[in-house]
Chain A
Amino acid sequence: MGDHRDGTPHKSGAVVTSDGAEQDQFPNPGLPPHRPRVTDVDPKAAKRAEHQVVLLFLLSMVGSVLFFVAYFGIRVDGPLYDAVNTEPTSQLRLQNTLLGLGIALGMFGIGIGVVHWARTLMPDHEIVEMRHDIRSEEDRAEAQSILNTIYDESGVKRRPLLRNTLIGAAVLMPLPFVGLLKDLGPTDLKVLRHSMWDEGVRLVRDPSGTPIKASDVTLGSAFHVVPESLNSLSHEDGYLNEKAKSVVLLMRLDPDTVNVSEERKDWNVDGIFAYSKVCTHVGCPIALYEQHTHHLLCPCHQSTFDLVNECEVIFGPASRPLPQLPISVDSDGYLVARSDFHEPVGPTYSQRDFAVKEMQGEGN
């Protein structure tokens, strides 16, 4: 290779310009010899292909008719998904199947038919279409001069205010879309700190909303629990948001087998423990409870928490134990919360560490 450092585009040989015609290095191999198709030489085959195409178009018609037969012809009477009378559901299935089949056949027949027609019956002689010449430098210069003319005639040089306001408008215009992003989540992250649990709030069953006696929770039981105050909340008042933060799993373990730290000594009731059901990884509901191994398993990424050791993570991507809900029993024998969770439930978010520090400050 030569030294191209002081070469120009026309001299160096490294750059092919639009005006520099290249010498043909290889002879043109030309086209392979034309081979006639069966349908070109055998009139019988051509007739057969014609019939095939006609059949495919007829199939398309049948499909379209089938759609309307299914649409008007099949009646779905009675409630769907009945445990005893399964007739309406299977009628609906039949209708859906035929509707889909009808549309599919309608489109399939036309599509395949047209392609088959083109492949077998339309002429198949080869055509050579030469490549367009690369545009010359003159064209390039002309385009440049057009752009310059536009630039001059639009007068942006003489009227800079026009240019500046246009730039201003173009910059501001996308901002509304950024604004829409704001609505994707709460801007006040403090709502993530607290749930509806509070001192004296009863633990109730999900979905029936009935309170739970400590004696109901037998060894090996698992209760899916929400706060009683959730019962009176409507969907307009953010029922689902509150439920998402406050869902709890309640289990009774043998008190002798459980390691309880000093500060959480009074958080359980005779071996009944309550833990947040929201995974600390990305927030899936954890409720796969193995009665004998005392493992809680998250269905999304298989994070496994050990109930015996205050839900410490023993497997998977979660990085923190599940928050424990301190509970006790009220004067009627029903289970109640002693307080809210002592940390935000669920996955990590931008200001979580700060929130935990502040919440511990509140507690003390």
Chain B
Amino acid sequence: MKALSQKRRHPMAALALLVMALLLTGGLYAVATTTNEAKAETTTYSAQDIEEGQKLFMANCSTCHGMKAEGTSSGPSLIGVGASAVDFQVGTGRMPMQMQGPQAQVKPQQFNEEQTSQLAAYVASLGAGPSVPADEDLDISKGNSANGAQVFLANCAMCHNAAGQGGALTRGKFAPSLMGVSEKHIYEAMQTGPQNMPVFNDANITPEEKRDVITYLKTLDNNTTVGGFSLGSLGPVSEGLFIWTVGLVIVIGFTVWLTSRSA
């Protein structure tokens, strides 16, 4: 303890303290989020869930989506969108929207897992729609990432980039990056087609193919690139920018050094 107190005025002490604090909060946050995700796998909803969900809906969603979720001029009808759509939109924090804009943005979730599932129960009770995916369909240890890559390149890569990094669309809309998105949310997005994304229903991309796509994305996510810096995997734009700025500065630096007179 004495040694520690003696070193507290060391110039590196503040830095060490900062690193420890960051690690601690990061660790706690990671634990907290994983425990959140582990919960709620119910696909059958009780009458009470529906009732609670309706209350939440009235209080938080009805301004835009209407009192009976029939839709208004500021929000679409939710009848028949299914529990899956609610779980995606509310579970990723996209809904409730912060403000009207080209596209709903990801933000910290406003409802916890239980409330999200109650909302989903209410919306699912309004009309038949896709339900929240089963664990079986999200198990990437059973997926085939090679087939997933083919499906991804044919159906998804044009908007989300071949490396899943996302890309720009028209008028402020964009396809978000798929890195770090949970298996369930990727599945639900394919199933329901949130925002301007097209729907990829089970007749189009089967549940097995969806799992393969998720496996491919998780492979990209978990594996580092073997070539070193990926520079955002954006292709010639970021790579060109890098070499024309950093590379050229290095070359100029050496030229200056070579021709300067030594002291």
Contacts and interface: CB of A to CB of B under 8 A. Distances in A.
Given A38-B263, A81-B223, A291-B197, A216 B203 contact: yes
Nearest to B157: A287
B154 A224 contact: yes
Interface string A215-235: 111111111100000000000
Contact of A205 (B201, B204, B222, B226): B204
Contacts of A286: 158
Given A89-B224, A216-B203, A285-B158, A292 B196 contact: yes
Contacts of B125: none
A181 B199 CA distance: 45
Contacts, number: 116
B194 to A, nearest CB: 9
A288 B258 contact: no
Contacts of A100: 228
B209 A221 contact: no
A83 B203 contact: no
Contact of B225 (A37, A82, A93): A93
Interface stretch (A192-200, A254-262, A263-271, A293-301): A293-301
Contacts of B167: 299
A80 interface: yes
A206 B195 CA distance: 24
Interface residues of B, number: 41
A92 B169 contact: no
A90 B158 contact: no
B199 A220 contact: yes
Contacts of B228: 93, 96-97, 100
A31 interface: no
Given A37-B263, A81-B219, A288 B201 contact: no
B263 A208 contact: no
A215 B257 CA distance: 71
17 contacts: A37-B263, A38-B263, A39-B262, A82-B145, A83-B145, A83-B216, A83-B218, A84-B141, A96-B226, A207-B151, A215-B203, A220-B193, A224-B154, A287-B159, A291-B196, A292-B196, A297-B169
Interface of A: 37-39, 80-84, 86, 89-90, 92-93, 96-97, 100, 115, 119-120, 124, 205-208, 212-213, 215-224, 251, 285-293, 295, 297, 299, 302, 304, 315
